[in-house]
Amino acid sequence: MLLRTVDLSVGYGDLRIVQGVSLEVKDGEVVSLLGPNGSGKSTLIKGIVGLAKVFEGKVFVDGQDVTGIPTYKLIRMGVGYVPQRLNIFPNLTVKENLEVSVSWLDKSRARERILELVELFPELKPKLDYKAGLLSGGERQILALARAFMAEPKVLLLDEPTASLSPMIADKIFKYIREVASSGVAIMVAEQNVAKALRNSDRSYILVSGRCVSEASSTSYLTDEQLRKIYLEFISVKPDSSL
């Protein structure tokens, strides 16, 4: 199991937002983290990557206890993270964005990695020398995903990667997420676009008020009427994402 949390409680200051969440993500697996706004999805991810306070519980990456380890160290240990906002440097070029994400790597390896990534994400290839701030919303998200994948992570956590994107671009982002997972990366995606998340993930966890209320295969949530009626009514489904 590449990523595992055990009874994890997370929050800010003295406020506990996520309580007692246990989950796991296997290598090559895409797991959706679903729930209404304010359910704690982003806070849970931030707790895992060291950006929110862990009150109780443990985080394990590839069997190693990484609870409370600073974010910059986690990245070097193989944990990638893409926040919903502020996930690129708009004043740097696309190439510079990729380079700065692995500043500790040997320069020759960094150059090799960039060549590999522009083959995987071809939209970036003709725009390596463009300022990232000039990219479209979809291109920025692709760049953010590429930046996180630049360090060859074992685990990748994505917070609302399709927020504010058109359905067509959202489909493309999920296509890339699946391709990254196929290389053996364990991926957890916090999403509001329920239908797209379910159709592009292997399993899903549902958070309500900071607690995990259900876990099942994503196919089960799509096909089992009882599961859908009991759990998906908690989640606000976007107009373009009907189940």
- CA gap 19, 39 in Å, rounded: 11
Instruction: Supply the pLDDT for residue 239.
Output: 37
Q: What residues contact 40, with CB distance under 8 A and at least 6 apart?
A: 10, 17, 18, 207, 209, 210
- Reading the block at residue 91, the tokens are 């004043």
Taken in order of first residue, the domains within the chain and their CATH numbers are: 1-78+192-243 (3.40.50.300)
Instruction: Supply the pLDDT for residue 154.
Output: 96
Confidence band of 242 (pLDDT split at 50, 70, 90): low
Instruction: Supply the pLDDT for residue 230.
Output: 78
pLDDT at residue 145 is higher than 90: yes
Considering the entire predicted model, what is its pTM? Answer: 0.92
| Cβ pair 161, 147 in contact under 8 A | no
DSSP 32: E
Task: Classify each residue of 28-43 as buried b or exposed e, where b means 16 or more C-beta atoms within 10 Å of its C-beta.
Answer: bbbbbbbbbeebbbbb
pLDDT at residue 243 is higher than 80: no
Mean pLDDT for the chain?
Answer: 92
Instruction: Supply the pLDDT for residue 88.
Output: 94
Instruction: Supply the pLDDT for residue 103.
Output: 83
Instruction: Supply the pLDDT for residue 233.
Output: 67
Q: What residues contact 127, with CB distance under 8 A and at least 6 apart?
A: 94, 135, 139
- What residue has token string 């209404």? 36
pLDDT at residue 237 is higher than 50: no
pLDDT at residue 238 is higher than 90: no
